[in-house]
């Protein structure tokens, strides 16, 4: 069946351009073009679309408003914000209402690639094995109320760093934990951050809200009876990989948004492991045993036991929680990036290398140097040459993380 894709822009010339650019896809996609939000919602009502790509700045109904309505009424539709505007407000709003932000002008190849990746990601996350595994999970960390409040504030037309800081500050316990983390050696900041508002303006709201979530998720695993040190280890590994992926993304000269996404993806890349440990501890122990004794990769051992891997299940939950596509994709493919189709943004590579490096050099040592690296992928994506430098950089991040936070 053809995929249905809807493009929305108030400028006729942009729509004409898109129509021309995308003619090559007309046998695979059923495309429609709407000049505004109202028309777009009318078309959605007739028959929902699989994907909507909307301009952000439109006179009658803004792109953020349109995408938020689509999110609420048609949650299965994949939402892309396409915008030439880079102002902060527009960006905040697009962050919380879209799966991915695309900058104008967007070449046909980039647009097609992004939409196709969105389809393949969803196919992976809806695969029968994974769905079967998901239904076995009883303990799924919920989104904390604070996080939901922050996200809804970000969606409001007058969202501000100040307001978000105030909302977080109202939850004293969470503020203390998040500030502790920000002021710890992991962040390597050279000054003391004393309030959530200051943290928001220094780190950006997207990073701050992810820290609130990661602290909550790991906090909720604290009281569960698990082998000593397991959750602590995963926590340290998550932080190290977040920082490592961020450092690699900077080294690749990615834009600020992608550097932030690399950090966030690194922070959550092994969320699936936490989920499996919490829900199916005995089977997980069995998978780890297979991994250690039979000299196989962890993901292969997991597939043998569960039919899916921690990477896919983590990606699934991140998708459900509304994380952007590049973050979900990096988590879902972080062990096998070559299975991810299309051209890549660098975020996946950053998380893949940072995680593999920490598994080799860090305390989760797999004692199999480079075995976890997907060489085929790194070569194809043009990342083979800087690999040694990258590994050195990640090793420094790991050493710093474990030394100071032991």
Residues that bind Fe ion (CB under 5 A): 270, 355
Q: Enumerate residues 6+ apart whose C-beta is below 8 A from 208.
A: 164, 168, 178, 196, 199, 200
Least distance in angstroms from the C-beta of 273 to Fe ion: 6
Phi-psi region of 101 (alpha: psi -120 to 50; beta: other; left: phi over 0): beta
Least distance in angstroms from the C-beta of 301 to Fe ion: 12
- Determine what percent of the chain falls in helix, strand and coil, rounding each to the nearest 5: 65, 5, 30
Which residue of this chain has its Cβ atom nearest to Fe ion in the complex? 355
Q: Which is nearer to Fe ion, 68 or 355 (CB)?
A: 355
Least distance in angstroms from the C-beta of 298 to Fe ion: 7
Q: Which is nearer to Fe ion, 25 or 334 (CB)?
A: 334
Q: Which is nearer to Fe ion, 71 or 356 (CB)?
A: 356
Helix and strand numbers (H, E) in the chain are 21, 5
Least distance in angstroms from the C-beta of 238 to Fe ion: 8
Q: Tell me the sheet residues that pair with 101.
A: 81
Q: 314-348: b or e for each residue (b if 16 or more CB lie within 10 Å)? A: bbbbbbebbbbbbbbbbbbbbbbbeebeeebbbbb
Least distance in angstroms from the C-beta of 272 to Fe ion: 7
Q: Which is nearer to Fe ion, 115 or 234 (CB)?
A: 234
Q: Which is nearer to Fe ion, 261 or 270 (CB)?
A: 270
Least distance in angstroms from the C-beta of 181 to Fe ion: 19
Q: Rounded distance, CA 298 to CA 167, Å?
A: 40
Q: Which is nearer to Fe ion, 22 or 394 (CB)?
A: 394
C-beta separation of 283 from 306 below 8 A: yes
């Amino acid at each position: 069946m053809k995929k249905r894709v809807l493009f929305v822009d108030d400028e006729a010339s942009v729509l004409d351009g898109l129509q021309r650019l995308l003619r090559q896809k007309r046998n695979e996609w059923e495309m429609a073009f709407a000049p505004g939000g109202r028309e777009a919602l009318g078309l959605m009502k007739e028959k929902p679309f699989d994907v909507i790509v909307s301009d952000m700045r439109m006179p009658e109904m803004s792109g953020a408003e349109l995408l938020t309505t689509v999110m609420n009424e048609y949650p299965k539709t994949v939402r892309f914000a396409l915008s030439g505007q880079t102002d902060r407000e527009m960006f905040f709003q697009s962050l919380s209402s879209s799966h991915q932000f695309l900058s104008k002008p967007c070449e046909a190849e980039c647009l097609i690639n992004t939409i196709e990746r969105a389809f393949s990601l969803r196919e992976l996350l809806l695969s029968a094995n994974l769905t079967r595994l998901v239904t076995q999970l009883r303990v799924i960390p919920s989104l904390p109320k604070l996080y939901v409040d922050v996200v809804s504030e970000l969606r409001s037309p007058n969202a501000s760093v100040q307001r978000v800081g105030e909302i977080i500050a109202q939850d004293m316990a969470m503020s203390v934990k998040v500030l502790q983390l920000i002021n710890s050696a992991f962040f390597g900041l050279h000054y003391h951050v004393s309030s959530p508002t200051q943290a928001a303006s220094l780190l950006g709201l997207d990073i701050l809200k992810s820290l609130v979530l990661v602290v909550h998720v790991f906090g909720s695993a604290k009281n569960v009876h698990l082998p000593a040190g397991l959750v602590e280890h995963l926590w340290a590994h998550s932080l190290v990989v977040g920082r490592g992926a961020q450092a690699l993304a900077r080294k690749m000269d990615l834009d600020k948004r992608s550097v932030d996404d690399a950090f966030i993806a690194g922070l959550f890349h092994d969320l699936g492991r936490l989920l499996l440990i919490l829900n199916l501890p005995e089977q997980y122990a069995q998978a780890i045993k297979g991994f250690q004794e039979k000299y196989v990769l962890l993901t292969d051992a997991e597939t043998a036991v569960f039919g899916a891997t921690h990477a896919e299940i983590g990606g699934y939950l991140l998708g459900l929680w509304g994380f952007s596509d590049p973050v979900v994709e990096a988590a879902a493919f972080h062990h096998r990036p070559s299975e991810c189709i299309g051209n890549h943004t660098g975020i996946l590579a950053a998380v893949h290398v940072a995680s593999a490096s920490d598994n080799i050099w860090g305390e989760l040592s797999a004692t199999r140097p480079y075995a976890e690296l997907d060489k085929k992928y790194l070569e194809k994506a043009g990342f083979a040459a800087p690999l040694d430098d990258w590994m050195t950089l990640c090793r420094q991040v790991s050493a710093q993380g474990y030394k100071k936070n032991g």
